[in-house]
Amino acid sequence: WLPNIIFKTKLILKLLFKTNCCAILHSTTILLLLYFQNSLLISSDGSYGFVSERSPCACHTCVADRGNSNWFSERYDPNVPLLLNSTNSVLNANVSRWWKLFPLFPDKEHYSDTGSDRCRTCAVVGNSGNLLGSKYGSLIDVHDFIMRINKGPTEGYEKDVGSKTTHRIVYPESAIDLDNSTHLVLLPVKILDIQWLISAFTTKNITQTYTEVPSTIKANKDKVMILHPEFIRYVYDNWAEGHGSYPSTGFLTLIFALHICDEVNIFGFGATSDGIWHHYFEKILTSYDIGIHAGRFENETINRLQQENKILIYKGWP
């Protein structure tokens, strides 16, 4: 198609020169420049095309670039609110019915610094037993953001899982003490979860949900974040496609990373090389195919994300 456009453009220019239509030529040139101002004509193996010079980040491949995957762009919504704050706390009727609103924690605008000069690398570290013996520790620790899920420990496993943590995504029943530099990211799946969070930093009177929970936790209150109910619903609708009761913590963390990171690498997801599902810090076998989460569907979606060159999965084995 491009040679035809070039040929026709040349004919138009010749006619304009012959008729001395300087004003028309000037206008035509401006329109052409405006049309292609953000594009570049490239040639490779004899083929030509216009590609955008603008990029959402400075990485070689940007996860937020929706132009290279129709499957991804149908699901990825760059405008969905990720974290609750005072300016986005009013939910629309559909989200409010799906998830009841709650008192807010102190808010702050986060992760709005996207741009062509930024390349934020993120490691999403799951809890799979395939991390054991992987020696991924140093590789994980070089990422800008290192997101860990629930109670997955680092002490004693540093060679395989790394030692740094920037974000810990938890719910009350999986909460653990954090150092002063780590963000506590609460996944609220019920109103009591928010009440527990406030209580943990104030009255310390909530000790029970459906099971015993800590009355307080060690964490930096200035780094507390709360995943937005609309974001959780978005993950359920767009990415889990309604499978299961609600998405797993690991799956939500991965989609969260797709929205705030430019490169996403995941570790500790999936089974071990012999097909066994268990956590690296315990021997209890788990199953991704039963329970309230759609583990099989989530696993297929994660693999599809790699096929679409949106993430890179480190399996812990060849």
SS (H, E, C) the chain: CHHHHHHHHHHHHHHHHHCCCHHHHHHHHHHHHHHCCCEEEEEECCEEEEEECCCCCCCCCCCCCHHHCHHHHHHCCCCCCCECCCCCCCCCHHHHHHCCCCCCCCCCCCCCCCCCCCCCEEEEECCEHHHCCCCCHHHHHCCCEEEEECCCCCCCCHHHHCCCCCEEEECHHHCCCCCCCCEEEECCCCHHHHHHHHHHHCCCCCCECCCECCCCCCCCHHHEEEECHHHHHHHHHHHCCCCCCCCCHHHHHHHHHHHHCCEEEEECCCCCCCCCCEECCCCCECCCCCCCCCHHHHHHHHHHHHHCCCCEEECCCC
- Within a domain: residue 60? no
**Which one is predicted more confidently, 134 or 95?**
134
Domain total in the chain: 2
Assigned domain for 58 exists: no
Whether 57 is covered by a domain: the verdict is no
Q: Is the per-residue pLDDT at 37 higher than 50?
A: no
Q: What is the pTM of this model?
A: 0.70
The region of weakest confidence among 22-31, 50-59, 95-104, 177-186 is 22-31
For residue 281, what is the domain's CATH number? Answer: 3.90.1480.20
Q: Looking at residue 149, what is its pLDDT?
A: 97
- Mean pLDDT value across residues 254-274: 95
Q: Tell me: do 45 and 70 sit in the same domain.
A: no
Report pLDDT for 182: 97
Whether residue 246 lies in the annotated active site: yes
Same domain flag for 12 and 71: no
pLDDT of 288 above 70: no
Active-site choice (167, 259, 278, 293)? 293
The active-site residue, picked from 136, 171, 234, 246, is 246
Phi, psi of 47 (to 5 degrees): -110, 150
Q: Are residues 194 and 229 in the same domain?
A: yes
| pLDDT above 70 coverage of the chain, percent | 75
72 plus 48 within the same structural domain? no
Asked if residue 36 and residue 128 are part of one domain, the reply reads no
Q: What mean pLDDT, rounded, does the chain reach?
A: 82
Same domain, 23 and 153: no
Strongest mean pLDDT among 55-59, 115-119, 263-267: 263-267
Backbone angles phi, psi at 150, to 5 degrees: 55, -130
pLDDT band at 276 (very low <50, low <70, confident <90, very high): confident
Judge if 157 and 47 occupy the same domain: no
- Look at residue 59 and tell me if it is in a domain: no
Q: Domain check: are 197 and 233 in the same one?
A: yes
Q: What is the pLDDT of residue 28?
A: 45
Range of the domain at 97: 66-314
95 or 9: which leads in pLDDT: 95
**218-247 average pLDDT score:** 92
In tens, the pLDDT along 122-133 reads 999 999 999 999
Task: Judge whether 278 counts as a catalytic residue.
Answer: no
- Judgement on whether residues 133 and 181 belong to the same structural domain of the protein: yes
Helices 22-35 + 2-18 axis angle, to 10? 160
Mean pLDDT of 50-64: 74
